[in-house]
Amino acid sequence: MVVAVKVFKKTTPNGKLTFYLGKRDFIDHLDYCDPIDGVVVVDPDYLKGRKVYGELTTTYRYGREEDEVMGVKFSKELCLQREQIVPMVNQKMEMTPMQERLVKKLGPNAFPFTFTFPSVSPSSVTLQAGEDDEGKPLGVDYNIRTYVGQNEEDKGHKRSQVALIIKKLQYAPAARGRRLPSSLVSKGFTFSQGKINLEVTLDREIYYHGEKIAATVVITNNSRKTVKNIKCYAVQHCEVTMVNAQFSKHVASMETREGCPITPGASFTKQFFLVPLASSNKDRRGIALDGHLKDEDVNLASSTLITEGKTSTDAMGIVISYSIRVKVNCGTLGGELVTDVPFKLMHPAPGTVERERVNAMKKMKSIERHRYENSHYADDDDNIVFEDFARLRMNEPE
């Protein structure tokens, strides 16, 4: 069986340096993170004693670019790792199967490199810009950059630099568990006896992007008030750790008067369905997305998983969580009865049946982790498919 392997390729404006990456989505498994393995091809006559360096950088933008005045910046750029790629420092470097195939195909001027994410690095998240917003979107993103220079601090000219945006993501655990999140709240009234009880139960704790969320709502009216209507929301909660800011956005909602009014002494039970999707929230400012690279692979940001023994206060970047919020309208004087039930919204773990079903349903092509480890490789190199990025050729002297 021959499996065509997709490889991302990008070349410097002067065409002298090209680097290849087998994937752009790297998965954080909490106890370890996928390494960033790639290959650089350079014209040896162009170097003339210089070296090729690579670096992994992250940019954390927590404020709008157009609001930066008087030298105040609302972003932080950090270099997470920087290494010399050409000449190779470690001649006995252990290569991945993808690197071995690329080095074999591209010849003696191909040099492998491997970078790793720090254990505390946050996941890629992009906050969707509004229609009138200009500049770079808020969020956390990662770049792999290679350049030619005399030393690692010498970035040289832009014509000999090339960079590619990558994503750091988290997947759901292989088992979703049997826990059914629920919440039970009551509301009493000052000048009348009895209470209204509201119980909300979800059918599971972890949902995959594109799945229906089933919320069973049970209302018991032991008061003298009347329930007028019911509202259900899927709420996305964002915490921007750099500025200690928190905000929430509705990503799916519905309102119903079915079964209403719920009169004193009556009860009501119904299951409501919500489907939070990025496509339903286009052009809404502040919606957190999964650091999308193309419109075709855009998803709502996945819930942030925290390493065991740590809390959300220890997390960095932008922390994402979700909940189902149910509001019961108890009339003009009765106010509202509100409860939130938390859940997780994530990508399926690779290799699961749900993963294959979601891929078929949403035609997602960007998340192809472990393809290289589990693929059956042929001896020929014709089953490598290169995705070349458009580049600007500069008519400048080399």
Q: What is the pLDDT of residues 269-282, one digit of tens each?
A: 999 999 999 888 88
The helix/strand/coil state of 392 is coil
Query: In terms of DSSP bridges, do strands 206-208 and 336-346 run parallel, antiparallel, or are they unpaired?
Result: parallel
Q: What is the pLDDT of residues 10-31, one digit of tens each?
A: 998 888 899 899 888 898 888 8
| pLDDT of 69 strictly over 50 | yes
Summary mean pLDDT of the chain: 83
- Rounded mean pLDDT of 144-165? 87
Q: What's the pTM?
A: 0.81
Compute how many other C-beta atoms are within 10 angstroms of the C-beta atom of residue 297: 18
- The per-residue pLDDT for 208 is 92
Closest Cα partner for 289 from 394, 202, 169? 169
User: What confidence tier does 57 reach under pLDDT thresholds 50, 70, 90?
Assistant: very high
Compute how many other C-beta atoms are within 10 angstroms of the C-beta atom of residue 64: 16
Poorest-confidence range of 238-242, 268-272, 351-355? 351-355
Q: What is the pLDDT of residues 324-338, one digit of tens each?
A: 999 999 887 888 999
In angstroms, the Cα distances linking 214 to 39, 41, 170, 197, 262 are 46, 51, 23, 20, 22
Q: Enumerate domains of the chain plus CATH numbers.
A: 5-171+369-388 (2.60.40.840), 182-346 (2.60.40.640)
The rounded distance, in Å, linking the Cα atoms of 212 and 341 is: 15
- Burial (CB count within 10 angstroms: exposed 0-12, middle 13-18, buried 19+), residue 160: buried
User: What confidence tier does 343 reach under pLDDT thresholds 50, 70, 90?
Assistant: very high
Poorest-confidence range of 151-160, 309-318, 341-350? 309-318
Which of 131 and 114 is assigned the larger pLDDT? 114
User: What confidence tier does 374 reach under pLDDT thresholds 50, 70, 90?
Assistant: very low
- The per-residue pLDDT for 61 is 85
Which pair of tokens denotes residue 58?
């992250």
Tell me if 228 sits within 8 A of 317, measured CB to CB: no
| pLDDT of 358 strictly over 80 | no
- The per-residue pLDDT for 371 is 43
Poorest-confidence range of 126-130, 163-167, 347-351, 374-378? 374-378
The rounded distance, in Å, linking the Cα atoms of 157 and 148 is: 8
The helix/strand/coil state of 255 is strand
Tell me if 19 sits within 8 A of 7, measured CB to CB: no
The rounded distance, in Å, linking the Cα atoms of 20 and 11 is: 9
| pLDDT of 248 strictly over 90 | yes
Which pair of tokens denotes residue 303?
């819930």
- The per-residue pLDDT for 380 is 46
